[in-house]
Amino acid sequence: MAKNPKSSASAPETMPCPEMAALAAAFLDGQQITMTQCGLCGTEIAGVNGRYSCGVCGWTNPWWEGTSTLPSAEDDVQT
């Protein structure tokens, strides 16, 4: 079996600009990984800021049950 030349090649590493890195760090500081049991099948699941989606049965908790305020439409626009 011949080797695929693309599989052994690695993508070049790129460094984000300092401004983008600072924005990413500020965003990540506000995130908290939380754990709970699925409300439908009982599987232990992880979420971000109290918002969950079960990969086993598809259950999701309502958006308002999260532990933080979601961004407004204006705040959620990427530039």
Taking alpha carbons only, the member of 62, 60, 66 closest to residue 43 is 60
Which distant-in-sequence residues (6+ apart) come within 8 Å of 34 by Cβ? 46, 47, 48, 49, 50, 52, 67
pTM (predicted TM-score):
0.58
Q: Is the pLDDT of residue 2 over 80?
A: no
Structure confidence by residue, pLDDT tens digits, 19-59: 998 988 888 888 999 999 999 999 999 999 999 999 999 99
Q: Are 68 and 31 in contact (CB under 8 A)?
A: no
